[in-house]
Homo-oligomer: A and B are copies of this chain.
Amino acid sequence: MKVLITGFDPFGNESINPAFEAIKLLPNKVLNSNIIKLELPTIFNKSIEILEKKIIEIDPDIIICVGQAGGRFKITVERVAINIDDARIKDNAGNQPIDEPIFKNGENAYFSNLPIKSIVENIKKNKIPASISNSAGSFVCNHIMYGLLYLINTKFKNKKGGFIHVPYIPEQVLNKSNMPSMSLENISKSLLIAIKTSITVKKDIKTIEGSII
């Protein structure tokens, strides 16, 4: 099998992006499958174009996009992406779309078809905090997740894909107050667990991971 895993370049006021830093630490092979790593620009539309080209080029079985979730305490495996771009800040090319659909002919939302609850369960078994998230926001992270799932639902129907948000790493919060972080080692370990789980689990489990809000 082939697994494509992507991370964004730094955005906002950050000089690194823990998503791609963690991806760089991954091995190139696991469970007889190749891991292909790709850095995506934090740019609306262009990120999806680059992702689609890479999917066509390497024909992966599984695609996992990863992004930074500054302020979150745990590895959060996203459940769903929504058909909206609503940017709080400019992306890395200066775009700031407000309330625009990502694909006009797309569905309102797409659900990840990764075994998201198995991934959370396996990360937690390794003593790393993880949970399901029901929102990837409305910036480029939701955008790429929606784009990936739109492509899977319309063009690449046998592929599996989804999105994982990771916390800041400690060096990013040295001068921030009350801001959680997670070690790069644990983030990278979690991504490897997510890859292995996505390769091996055919039918997801039903664990209590819902949110009241």
Interface residues of A (CB under 8 A from B): 12, 67, 69-74, 79-80, 82, 84-89, 96, 98-99, 107-111, 117, 124, 127-129, 132-139, 141-142, 165, 170-171, 173-174, 177-183, 185-186, 204, 206-213
Closest to A72 in B: B213
Q: List 25 A-B contacts (CB under 8 A).
A: A69-B213, A70-B212, A71-B213, A73-B177, A79-B138, A82-B111, A85-B210, A88-B211, A96-B208, A99-B204, A99-B206, A108-B110, A127-B174, A128-B170, A129-B170, A129-B173, A129-B174, A134-B142, A136-B213, A141-B213, A165-B213, A181-B182, A182-B183, A183-B186, A185-B185
- Shortest distance between the CB of A7 and any CB in chain B (Å): 15
Distance of A116 Cα from B123 Cα, bound (Å): 36
- In the bound complex, residues from chain B placing their C-beta under 8 Å from that of A212 are 12, 70, 88-89, 137, 139, 141
In the complex the two chains form, what is the Cα distance from A207 to B136 in whole Å?
A: 20
- Copies of this protein in the complex: 4
Known: A108-B109, A109-B80. A173 touches B73 (CB 8 A): yes
Residues of B within 8 A of A136 (CB): 213
A185 and B108 alpha carbons, distance in the complex (Å): 35
B183 & A82 in contact (Cβ 8 Å cutoff): no
A82 vs B132: C-alpha distance when bound (angstroms): 14
Q: Quick check: A70 and B213 within 8 Å, CB to CB?
A: yes
| Bound: A1/B213 CA distance, A | 31
Q: Which residues of B contact A67 (CB under 8 A)?
A: 213
Which of chain B's residues have a CB closer than 8 A to the CB of A129?
170, 173-174, 181
Q: Which chain B residue lies CB-closest to A139?
A: B212
Pick the contact of A210: B88, B133, B174 (CB < 8 A).
B88
Question: Which B residues lie within 8 Å of A80 (CB)?
Answer: 82, 84, 108-109
Known contacts A72-B213, A88-B210, A134-B138, then 11 further A-B pairs from the complex at CB < 8 Å, ordered by chain A residue: A73-B173, A86-B132, A88-B208, A98-B210, A124-B174, A129-B170, A129-B181, A137-B212, A137-B213, A180-B180, A180-B181
- In the complex, A87 Cα to B134 Cα: how many Å? 13
